[in-house]
Amino acid sequence: MTDAWTHFEDWTGTLSDIGGAGALLGWDRETGMPPAGSETRARQLGTLAAIHHRELTRPDIDGALAELEADTSLTAERARQVEVMVRARRRAQRMPESLVRELSEATSRCVGVWIEMRGAGDYAAFAEPFRRVVELKRVHARTVADGVEPYDALLDDYEPGARAAELEPVFADLRERLTPLVELGAARPRPGLPQRHWPAESQVALARDLAELVGYDMSAGAVALSAHPFTSSPGYGDVRFTTRVDEANPVGSIMAVLHETGHALYEQGFPAAYARTPLLDAPSMGAHESQSRFWENHVGRTRPFWERIGPLLHGRFPEAMRGLDAADLQREATAVEPSLIRVEADEVTYNLHIALRFELELALIRGDLEVEDLPTEWNARMRDFLGIVPPHDGVGVMQDIHWPEGLFGYFPTYTLGNLYAAQLAEAADTHVDGLDRAIADGRFAEILAFMRERVHVWANLRPTRDVMVEATGGPLSADALVAHLRGVAAG
């Protein structure tokens, strides 16, 4: 017994170390690596992925796993680790090596063509390698699937236990309730910001100010610049995030900082005892996104938050802020306007962008939609949901890297995160005696303590659903999000 556990612990510790090394290589690629290093870096990441796969599927762990699975005396922590690893291992074993290799080649090729063709929106050129990716993902889904819905097998990689059958009514409901809010929000006047210069170094300094203001621990993290903001944890005690800057407008950067800080606070809240174990993780992407969206949208876009950080803004940008107050920037942060690009979308339209993608990728994997018909379907939904149509596919169906990379089943987790975030914000509102008041008072430690004890402390010990039902007091529902977005749209 002890032997089986020791064997198991060595195995998962090794896997964690390999994963952490890969995370650092990825972080460095976006933040520090010189351009000439990219080819070798790609090979290194491929080698680490292969070593990770070989270690995950090594046969000599079978005995220990069988013994531990049968052992009813394990603690909850240990039992969950065994469950998580048995599932990960089974999924890895089900994927034939030939399919892994074919998928890797097909997506590499497709991403290459995507990078080249996206600017011009040349869908015909893109469709050829993309058809192969979709074909292989259909095979992948059928190969790994447990039940009747192959898409669920893909979804399961990002949101364990989620089912398309449960998501479809949620998205249909959201779509119906959000469409009218778009018009309401877009009708609000949007004065915009005067032309000013917001120096990059001051934006990076502000990023640190804001992260520390809400509770980020800089002695266990780092902040850097990258083209696309992201959060990464190469190991316990080391949770980093990046931001981007636009010297003509600081609002996007500030929202990105709050978003990434939300991800980072989550991982900084994982228990130290879970270091180098499968428990040092979020139970799903939706859970992770609930944290980024909570701090971004339910804290960071509020009027009291901007009033609170007013002195910081004036301190960091004495020139650019001259004659402006925090409310001017907050208005920018909550403006609603139908737009073509998901990553630039406001809170209200954002989930319609996701609904569109969910419907289309589900149909693609089911075989109800073919690659050649995708742009037509995309554009029709853009007209229906948002009232605008992309002038070309580069700012339409070709805008995201997810599909060329084969990441089907990922998009819905963004909206799941938004749904959970809104439900958590309602629960927090009660808990801290008014969320807006707590923000106005600067009681960020209280807000963070709520998240720590309701969400962070569980890390991957329990499935997302269980954590969220207990934390929010109810099952997944669109009501909280719709109520919140109604407020945003009304201004």
Of 454, 478, 477, 484, the C-alpha closest to 466 is: 454
Q: Does 60 bind a second copy (CB under 8 A)?
A: no
Catalytic residue, from 39, 102, 166, 260: name it.
Answer: 260
Say how far apart CA 74 and CA 461 lie, in whole Å.
14
Q: Does 6 bind a second copy (CB under 8 A)?
A: no
- Smallest gap from residue 114 Cβ to a second copy (A): 24
Q: Does 112 bind a second copy (CB under 8 A)?
A: no
Give the residue, chosen from 78, 91, 177, 276, that forms a contact with a second copy under the rule CB under 8 A.
276
Q: Does 2 bind a second copy (CB under 8 A)?
A: no
Active site residue 260: yes
Give the residue, chosen from 6, 47, 376, 430, that forms a contact with a second copy under the rule CB under 8 A.
47
Q: Residue 239 or residue 299: which is nearer to a second copy going by CB?
A: 239
Give the residue, chosen from 4, 8, 12, 20, that forms a contact with a second copy under the rule CB under 8 A.
20
Q: Does 215 bind a second copy (CB under 8 A)?
A: no
Task: Report yes or no: 379 and 391 within 8 Å, Cβ to Cβ.
Answer: no
- Our separate counts of H helices and E strands in the chain read 20, 3
Say how far apart CA 366 and CA 25 lie, in whole Å.
35
In this structure, what DSSP letter does residue 297 have? I
- Smallest gap from residue 300 Cβ to a second copy (A): 24
- Smallest gap from residue 46 Cβ to a second copy (A): 8
Give the residue, chosen from 1, 3, 37, 318, that forms a contact with a second copy under the rule CB under 8 A.
37
Say how far apart CA 396 and CA 418 lie, in whole Å.
23
Q: Residue 37 or residue 473: which is nearer to a second copy going by CB?
A: 37
Give the residue, chosen from 7, 14, 88, 91, that forms a contact with a second copy under the rule CB under 8 A.
14
Give the residue, chosen from 1, 3, 13, 58, that forms a contact with a second copy under the rule CB under 8 A.
13
Q: Does 218 bind a second copy (CB under 8 A)?
A: yes
Amino acid symbol at 171:
F
Task: Encode 377-415: b = buried (16+ Cβ within 10 Å), e = exposed.
Answer: bbbebbeebbeeebebbbebbbbbeebbebbbbbbbbbb
272, burial (CB in 10 Å: exposed 0-12, middle 13-18, buried 19+): exposed
Give the residue, chosen from 9, 30, 41, 109, that forms a contact with a second copy under the rule CB under 8 A.
41
What does the chain come to in residues?
491
Cα dihedral 122, 127, 130, 132 sign: negative
**Which secondary structure element, helix H or strand E, spans residue 224, and what is its range?**
strand 221-225
- Smallest gap from residue 9 Cβ to a second copy (A): 12
Say how far apart CA 300 and CA 344 lie, in whole Å.
16
Give the residue, chosen from 92, 113, 193, 222, that forms a contact with a second copy under the rule CB under 8 A.
222
- Smallest gap from residue 224 Cβ to a second copy (A): 8
Task: Report yes or no: 362 and 151 within 8 Å, Cβ to Cβ.
Answer: yes
- Smallest gap from residue 43 Cβ to a second copy (A): 6
Task: Report yes or no: 7 and 26 within 8 Å, Cβ to Cβ.
Answer: no
- Smallest gap from residue 25 Cβ to a second copy (A): 6
Stretch 226-255: interaction string toward a second copy, x if CB under 8 A? --------xxxxx-x---------------
Task: Report yes or no: 266 and 216 within 8 Å, Cβ to Cβ.
Answer: no
Active-site residues: which are they?
Answer: 260
Which residues are at the interface with a second copy (CB under 8 A)? 13-14, 17-18, 20-21, 24-25, 28, 32-41, 43-44, 46-48, 51, 217-222, 234-238, 240, 275-276
